[in-house]
A and B are shown apart, each in its own frame.
Chain A
Amino acid sequence: MKFRARVEVQLRAGIADPEGATIERALPALGFDGVAHVRAGRSFSFEVEAPDEGSARTTATELADRLLANPVIEQSRLELEPI
């Protein structure tokens, strides 16, 4: 079976995010009021070939934790769907 994986990587809560903070500071000047807690991140997508959803999830999670995110400062979130 084939699965499409989407991994979202963000800085952990409590880790300063100067990029998110800079975006947030720019918002009032553009007329966006009432927007808060902006966090920047990255998103990755890839396809996994695996016998079932469980093993595809294991592969994608390990890939995300070992390479896509640096667990010292970042956390990842995985979405998986069959294709």
Chain B
Amino acid sequence: MAPRIGVVVFPGSNCEHDVVRGVEAAGAEGVLLWHGDTQLGAVDAVVLPGGFAHGDYLRPGALARFSPVMEAVADFARAGGPVIGICNGFQVLTEAGLLPGALQKNGRLRFLCEPVRLVVVSTASVLTSTSMVGDELVIPINHFSGNYTCDAETLLRLQSEDRIVLRYADNPNGSIDAIAGIANEAGNVVGLMPHPERATSALLGSEDGLVLLRSLVAATATKVN
């Protein structure tokens, strides 16, 4: 049976259907989960999709972290379940304290919507296990607040613990150390600003996102639950 990947819908999410299609292209079944639910049901992985959860009021992700579903997501993550936050989902994960650091407004205050070149830095995460270190992937970004920042001590830890998952080849938004995606200590929680679900077909310009989504699907087989 295909693994079930839950995609959380917050009021204002807008990439959930793309993510469902993306994970289905990678061999899983995608199911939508509502932010107001307190349980995840029978899912093998969770994705927090892009968009504007709760209108991005206050700060992107600041209010979404109080959505009832987030406690279940945190429990699932602590139990080793794979959790991915894409774009706004990454912002939610940092606000919820499931990943360190924060995402600030882009340097030079530009909204960026374009394909970018990414370099795989670590394969010790549920999102990159089937790729190779040094692989270059072309995947679109679409954000105003994607400028990753953290204190010097956190950056050193991310570097020394192999938790920088993806870097930009040409840093578009001013992120510290050109970080495009990071993982938690165990590698089962990953946040990234680029949208792998928008790069799943050559017809759409790139299918480089598939290697990431296939890694996620592969991770559901080894998850401890």
Contact = CB atoms under 8 A, between A and B. Distances in A.
Nearest to A22: B109
Contacts of B59: 70
B58 A73 contact: no
A19 B109 CA distance: 7
A73 B109 contact: no
Q: From DSSP, what is the main secondary structure of chain B's interface residues?
A: loop
Interface residues of A, number: 10
A46 to B, nearest CB: 13
Interface stretch (B28-36, B44-52, B100-108, B112-120): B100-108
Query: Which of A22, A72, A73 is the most central at the interface, judged by chain B CB atoms within 10 Å of its CB?
Result: A72
B24 interface: no
A72 B101 contact: yes
A18 B109 contact: yes
Interface in B49-92: 58-59, 62
12 contacts: A16-B104, A16-B107, A16-B149, A18-B174, A19-B105, A67-B62, A70-B95, A72-B100, A72-B150, A73-B102, A73-B104, A73-B149
Interface of B: 58-59, 62, 94-95, 100-102, 104-109, 149-151, 174
